[in-house]
Amino acid sequence: MAESIQLTAPNNVTYTQPTGLFINNEFVPAQSGETLTTVNPFDESIIAAVASAGTDDVDLAVAAAREAFQAPEWRSMGASERGLLLCRLADLCERDQEILATIDAWDNGKPYDSALNEDVAEVISVFRYYGGWADKIQGRTIETSDAKLAYTRHEPVGVCGQIIPWNYPAMMAAWKLGPALACGNTVVLKAAEQTPLSILYLATLVKEAGFPKGVVNVLNGSGTVAGAAIAGHLGVDKIAFTGSTPTGKAIMKAAANNLKAITLETGGKSPLLVFEDANLDQAVKWSHVGIMSNMGQICTATSRIYVQDSIYDTFVEKFKQYTIENSKVGSQFDPAVNHGPQVSKTQRDRILQYVESAKSEGAELVLGGGVPQAGDKGYFIEPTIFKDTNREMKAVREEVFGPFVVIQAFNSQEDAIKKANDTEFGLGAAVFTENITRGHKVAAAIEAGMVWINSSQDSHFAIPFGGYKQSGIGRELGEYALSAYTQVKAVHVNLGSWL
């Protein structure tokens, strides 16, 4: 198999697509010769076949990362120079932003405009942001007595296995690579099997930026083979994972074999509370953004809406109208479209099952619930709204990961908080109120890693991202992510003399 091919995307962008595994700064075939194919979810056409890693390829990538971690080219590189490499990578992503956005739109199904102005814009910002951090990672001196000098060093953890999902391919890679590299680690990153293409392209930019060989290695492959091999590898010191909660649990178990450090960003069922004193138009707008953006394929999607009973009917009607007027379903490359297909048939069919279960459990369908006619083929789902739901329903308890929202009423602030927290997840939450005291009190009472007051989903690379309860362990983004990629060494210096 050739390790790269020329591709022309539906928007006529032509580029060279690597198709191998990226190990030691070279693209190589899988040792077994196995490949996996990736499809355009809009029309189900095959885009490319890429190498699919087996456990022997994982061994090679981990060995490359270990050697790079110990080699002076990386280990002794000045922190500022490491930062410059990340900034150079940001510049290259900016230069090739249209290619990266084209690939993610094509491979994932997300509208090109979002891929360019949200995903790739964030990729560039994240690499610049962590480029800036590289030479600001500092230990402390600790006062004890005149006889002792004690200080801490914040050292890299070592070889980091990073396993990412398909909903924001390039962006998830940047969230993981940025802090890991700023802190001086080396990486074996596995792309999701549905969306490997932009990560492989990113690997070409890693090499062009000048990272020494073996510092970043990129594998594609199935979760149960390549992913599981990374999670359980004795040569890997840390695992960072984003994906579903069941997979997060499997990874945590596998990572226990050598007590790997772990960060997990897993599922969510985030509540959005609308109080009667809210600005209703704003609440409606953000409720739409909170669940329909990226076709609902966001771990923090505000997928459970709770509305105070006095404004319940008005809110439901306005939300329905807003969704009808603002959901333009179709090809990800049509500039008028803001709602593309789901990533895969599996995901589309899974969402349809939740539609059936919500109906059979007595929820009232307000909008959607079916497969729209956006073309002859493609994995489309209509924006779907259910009202009059309750805590016993499967669609209220489980993460659906689609443009699918359940609404129910609450009658007091206490009731709202109780309902919001009635979940095994704790990733995000949103509160709509014009009462400043209520906003902060409810934010404090919510069991979630992120609370938006009067917005939803407007995360930022400088602000920590992560979950409470079964939504994860540790934080990504911001300064907080640095602690996930460093370990602290205490150095004791005896300044006294033996008594």
Which of 90, 192 has the CB closer to ligand ADP?
192
Question: With binding defined as CB under 6 A, does residue 193 bind ligand ADP?
Answer: yes
Distance CA 458, CA 476 (A): 15
Question: With binding defined as CB under 6 A, does residue 223 bind ligand ADP?
Answer: yes
As measured in angstroms, the least distance from the Cβ of 480 to ligand ADP is 22
Question: With binding defined as CB under 6 A, does residue 190 bind ligand ADP?
Answer: yes
As measured in angstroms, the least distance from the Cβ of 162 to ligand ADP is 10
Which of 173, 168, 153, 91 is CA-nearest to residue 125?
A: 91
Q: Distance from first CA to last CA of the chain, Å, rounded?
A: 71
CB 217 within 8 Å of CB 61? yes
Q: How far is CA 177 from CA 147, 245, 397, in A?
A: 41, 22, 33
Single residue of 7, 39, 189, 228 touching ligand ADP by CB under 6 A: 228
- Label residue 104 exposed, middle or buried (CB < 10 Å: 0-12, 13-18, 19+): buried
Question: With binding defined as CB under 6 A, does residue 243 bind ligand ADP?
Answer: yes
User: What residue type is assigned to position 374 of the chain?
Assistant: A
From 113-121, 219-227, 383-391, 408-416, give the range in contact with ligand ADP by CB under 6 A.
219-227
Single residue of 244, 421, 455, 459 touching ligand ADP by CB under 6 A: 244
Place of tokens 């500022």: 80
Q: How far is CA 365 from CA 5, 15, 62, 354, in A?
A: 46, 44, 50, 12
Q: Is 265 one of the annotated active-site residues of the chain?
A: yes
As measured in angstroms, the least distance from the Cβ of 232 to ligand ADP is 8
From 190-198, 318-326, 438-446, 477-485, give the range in contact with ligand ADP by CB under 6 A.
190-198
As measured in angstroms, the least distance from the Cβ of 123 to ligand ADP is 18
Question: With binding defined as CB under 6 A, does residue 192 bind ligand ADP?
Answer: yes
From 92-100, 160-168, 255-263, 482-490, give the range in contact with ligand ADP by CB under 6 A.
160-168
Q: Which of 193, 265, 382, 476 is catalytic?
A: 265
Which of 22, 153, 15, 26 is CA-nearest to residue 96?
A: 15
As measured in angstroms, the least distance from the Cβ of 233 to ligand ADP is 11
Question: With binding defined as CB under 6 A, does residue 251 bind ligand ADP?
Answer: yes
Token pair listed for 467 = 């979950």
Distance CA 21, CA 52 (A): 8
- Helix, strand, or coil (residue 308): strand
Task: Tell me how far the alpha carbon of residue 9 is from its chain's centroid.
Answer: 24
Single residue of 20, 227, 271, 402 touching ligand ADP by CB under 6 A: 227
Catalytic amino acids? 265
Q: Which residues sit at the interface with ligand ADP, rule CB under 6 A?
A: 163-165, 190, 192-193, 223-224, 227-228, 231, 243-244, 247, 250-251
